[in-house]
Each structure stands twice: as C-alpha cells, then as structure tokens.
Amino acid sequence: MKKNDPNSKMSLTLPPPLPFIDLKAQQQKIHSRLQDRLARVLAHGQYIMGPEVTELEERLAAYVGVKRAVTCASGTDALLMVLMAYGVGPGEAVFTSPFTFIATAEVVRLLGATPVFVDIDPRTYNLDPAALARALEEVDMQPRTRGLRPRGIITVDLFGQPADYDRILPLARERGLFVLEDAAQSFGATYKGRRTGALGDAAATSFFPAKPLGGYGDGGAIFTDNEELAEVLASIRQHGMGQDRYDHVRLGLNGRLDTLQAAVLLTKLDIFDEELAAREAVARRYSEGLGRVVAVPWVAPECTSAWAQYSVESERREDLRAQLQAAGVPTAVYYPKPLHLQPVFADLGYREGDFPVSEAASRRIFSLPMHPYLSPRDQERIIAVMTGE
C-alpha cells in the first residue's frame, strides 16, 4: 500500500478488535496468587481429589449458603449426576425450557427420559411459571406426553438471572416433583436475598472458562441441603464407589474435578465478588447508553444478575452485528435455534410455532462483550457504533 493512499491512514487509526471475554486481564491480576496455588498442587502431587478439591467444596457451599457442594468434571455432568441420583429414566418426563444450551435437555434424553419443553417469560428468558402450570395440567391430554410420569423440573437461570422460584416451587411441591436449578450462568446472582444454587432441591453450575466463575478448562458443581443426596452424588462421580475404590454400589461416572482446576477456582473465588460488582457496572453503562436503540435486559426488582451475558433484542439484529463487526466489536447469538426445533429432538414431535416467545427471541437476540474488565472507554466505542453517535 502506498504511503499517500488514504486507506493507509484509516487502517492505522482503527482501534484494535475487542475481546468478547477478556480472560487475559483477569489472569494478569491474579497471576502471582495463581502461581502459588498451582505450585502447591505440583508439590504435593495429588492431582485427583487433592486437598484443594475439598477446600473448594467447603468454600462454595458456604458462599451459596447450602450444606453441601459436590464438584465434578463439567456443568453437564452436574446436571446428569443429579438426574442419576434421582433415578430418572424411561417413561418419565422432565419439564424445562427450550431456550437454553442443549446440555439442559440432553442429560434428560441420555437417561432415556423425555424432556417436555415449556415456553419462556419474554422479559427474563426464564421458564414462564404460567406456561409451566398449563404444561403440568395437560400432561395426559397431549399426545406427545400422554402416559409419561412427571418427575422433575429443570429451571434455567439464563444469562445470569434466577427464574421465578416462588411460583415454580409450589407447582413442583403439589405434584411431588424435584426442582433442579440449572445455574450454569447464574453463579453469584441472588433471588430475594438468597444465592443461586440454593433455590431448588439441587442446583448445578458450570466452571467453563467463559462463565462468571470459570476455570482454565471444564468443571462444575452441585449444591444441595440434602446430605443423603450429596453422598449419592459423591459416589456417582467416582464410578458409583461404595466403601473403597473397588466397591461399586451403583452405576456412576468418571466425573471428578481435577485438583489443578480447583486451585484455579479457589484463586478466582478470592476476587469473585469484586468481579460481580464490576459486571453490574458494565451492565448499567450498557443499559443507560443503549435503551433507545435496542431492547435492553430487564432484571426483576427482587433479583440480581451475575451477567454471564449482556443480551439485547432488535429487529435489526444482523445489521447491528455487521456494523459492530466492521468496527472490531465481536457479538454472539444465544440461542439461534430453540431446542424444540433442533434435529436431535425431532422425534418429540414439536413444530415451529409451538413456543412463540422462545422462537421470537431466537430471531432478535444477540450478546455484546461482557466481562469485569471492559473499560468505560471501550463501552463508549460499542455504544457509539450502535447508536450512530
């Protein structure tokens, strides 16, 4: 390119692309503490179920406000292990949202049970309690669910905000169903003063690197006040182990969390509340700057969000995403196709139009960069692109 080419100056003045999630900034902040934690693991060499795993479980349980936390290899394993502990299987129905990552319903199908989808609230994107009540009442009236035995409900605290548990739990109690809180995106959020993870009979969360509390690889945890359930879960994650490693009392998994991941999570847990506050500030700046050009997130007054994602809606989604991409701002769509329309669940008999709120959201929603280290200056850049100012 020639020096007098006008495009040469333009290319040099364009700001660098922004990361969607900035894990490097976080790592720089905790680097020395992280190195110390990892060095201790390397020194004692207990890479499987080392002392850091026990320490992490104790700290997680105390943070959430439950009796027990059982760590595991992933958020998916956390969901699956709870269903295994409850003995969920063929001929049984588990009610959940179609507007979520596939793992929520995948684990139901892996055990031979049937996921029954229920539409979402248009403001929170979480399970709509009124729609859930109708689905529970109509189990024996709908061809696709007739003959199934309702067993449980998997709520999904989507994008970081808890579902409406005061309305969902009574529906479950009336019918003897368990409630499994899928808190993969909401660890750290609150519902009427209580932490997510303590809102159902059991809760599952994920420590995937992009989550509010993320490791440097896969990981997960289950929370419960039920001591007996916790003991079963601890057995399941180690191949159904009984009194010793060669005593097997039930079918299980190789679902343990690595000690090195526990060390990483312990280090990050030290600054987690600080990061939650920073996420809240980022969300506030977005909402103040974007409210006139897109539909910004709504958080119920009795809730706080962990802001795993900052998701907005617009009929001009693709135009806005293209503008942002041209300006070096990445975006993502969670989720472009609801679960009831996924090919893997085609045999369940759902059709387009069955869950209009979920389908409308999938056509309009997209997410902007969200992490605790997103500067006001970078946010101003993002907002300017979207508002044209």
Q: How far apart are CA 183 and CA 161, in angstroms?
A: 9
Q: How far apart are CA 83 and CA 129, in angstroms?
A: 22
Q: How far apart are CA 283 and CA 275, in angstroms?
A: 12
- The arithmetic mean of pLDDT across residues 233-244, rounded, is 95
pLDDT band, residue 15 (cuts 50/70/90):
confident
The CA-atom distances, in angstroms, between 115 and each of 135, 143, 151, 340, 387 are 12, 14, 11, 10, 41
What is the CB neighbour count within 10 angstroms for residue 235? 20
Q: How far apart are CA 253 and CA 309, in angstroms?
A: 31
- The arithmetic mean of pLDDT across residues 146-174, rounded, is 98
Token representation of residue 384: 């300017």
Task: Supply the pLDDT for residue 245.
Answer: 86
Task: Supply the pLDDT for residue 4.
Answer: 46
- Going by the DSSP 8-state scheme, the letter that residue 187 receives in this structure is T
pTM of this structure = 0.95
**Can you list the domains of the chain with their CATH numbers?**
27-269 (3.40.640.10), 272-387 (3.90.1150.10)
- The arithmetic mean of pLDDT across residues 377-383, rounded, is 97
To the nearest 10°, report the CA torsion of 243, 246, 249, 251: 130
With a CB cutoff of 8 Å and minimum separation 6, the contacts of 53 are 71, 256, 257, 259, 262
The CA-atom distances, in angstroms, between 380 and each of 130, 287, 333, 365, 374 are 39, 12, 21, 21, 10
Task: Supply the pLDDT for residue 156.
Answer: 98
Task: Supply the pLDDT for residue 8.
Answer: 45
Over the chain, what is the mean pLDDT?
A: 95
Beta strand pairing call for 365-368 and 310-313: antiparallel
- The arithmetic mean of pLDDT across residues 145-168, rounded, is 97
Beta strand pairing call for 202-206 and 178-182: parallel
Q: Is 101:80 a contact under the CB 8 Å cutoff?
A: no
Token representation of residue 218: 């896969």
Please determine, for residue 3, whether its predicted confidence score (pLDDT) is greater than 60.
no
Q: What DSSP string runs through 234-294? A: HHHTBTTB-SSTT-B-S---B-PPBHHHHHHHHHHHTTHHHHHHHHHHHHHHHHHHHTTTS
**Which residue intervals of the chain are DSSP H helices?**
6-13, 23-44, 51-64, 75-85, 103-110, 129-137, 165-175, 227-236, 259-269, 272-290, 317-326, 356-364, 376-387
Please determine, for residue 11, whether its predicted confidence score (pLDDT) is greater than 90.
no
Token pair 């539909």 in the structure block, residue: 295
pLDDT tens figures, 284-342? 999 999 999 999 999 999 999 999 999 999 999 999 999 999 999 999 999 999 999 99
Q: Is 257:81 a contact under the CB 8 Å cutoff?
A: no
Task: Supply the pLDDT for residue 13.
Answer: 67
Please determine, for residue 2, whether its predicted confidence score (pLDDT) is greater than 60.
no
In percent, how much of the chain has pLDDT > 70?
A: 97
